[in-house]
């Protein structure tokens, strides 16, 4: 199975946009200027990464038997959540070696993981919906 052309384009465009937004966030200090920027970007980044993985890597598994599809959607969402957790570890590591304050405490980390989880689940569901189903 393959993703629809529109789905593949959406996956690549969303990945490009969040990459640009992440770079802009650091380059223009948007994380400190706008309280909501980090929250939105966590959800959007994990959504884009998980959507891309779902459409480009897991497409065949997402079109299996109905019970298998639910399992694969949950596994894909879990993969996105895991990527978000690794992102938090990277933020912590950055704070250990570079000046700055990427992690602003436990509350910040938990909200980031909540946004990552929401983005991952939405992406897994979107990946399933954007797959071409042959007749």
Give 131's strand partners.
Answer: 3
Q: Identify which of 126, 107, 117, 130 has the alpha carbon closest to the alpha carbon of residue 43.
A: 117
Instruction: Answer whether residue 135 shows pLDDT above 70.
Output: no
* Segment 84-116, tens digit of pLDDT: 999 888 888 888 887 767 777 788 889 999 999
* Segment 28-70, tens digit of pLDDT: 999 889 989 999 999 999 999 999 988 888 877 777 677 677 8
Q: Which residue did the predictor score with more confidence, 111 or 71?
A: 111
pLDDT of residue 97: 83
- Confidence class for position 7, pLDDT limits 50, 70, 90: confident
pLDDT averaged over the chain?
A: 86
Whether the Cβ atoms of residue 76 and residue 50 lie closer than 8 Å to each other = yes
């Amino acid at each position: 199975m393959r993703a629809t052309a529109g789905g593949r384009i959406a996956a690549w465009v969303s990945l490009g946009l969040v990459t640009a937004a992440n770079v802009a966030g650091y380059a223009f200090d948007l994380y400190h200027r706008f309280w909501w920027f980090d929250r939105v970007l966590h959800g959007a980044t994990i959504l884009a990464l998980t959507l891309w993985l779902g459409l480009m890597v897991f497409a065949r598994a997402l079109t299996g038997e109905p019970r298998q599809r639910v399992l694969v959607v949950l596994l894909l969402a879990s993969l996105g959540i895991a990527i978000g957790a690794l992102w938090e570890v990277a933020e912590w590591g950055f704070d250990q070696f570079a000046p700055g304050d990427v992690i602003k405490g436990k509350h910040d980390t938990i909200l980031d993981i909540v946004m990552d989880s929401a983005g991952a689940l939405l992406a897994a569901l979107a990946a399933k919906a954007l797959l071409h189903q042959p007749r």
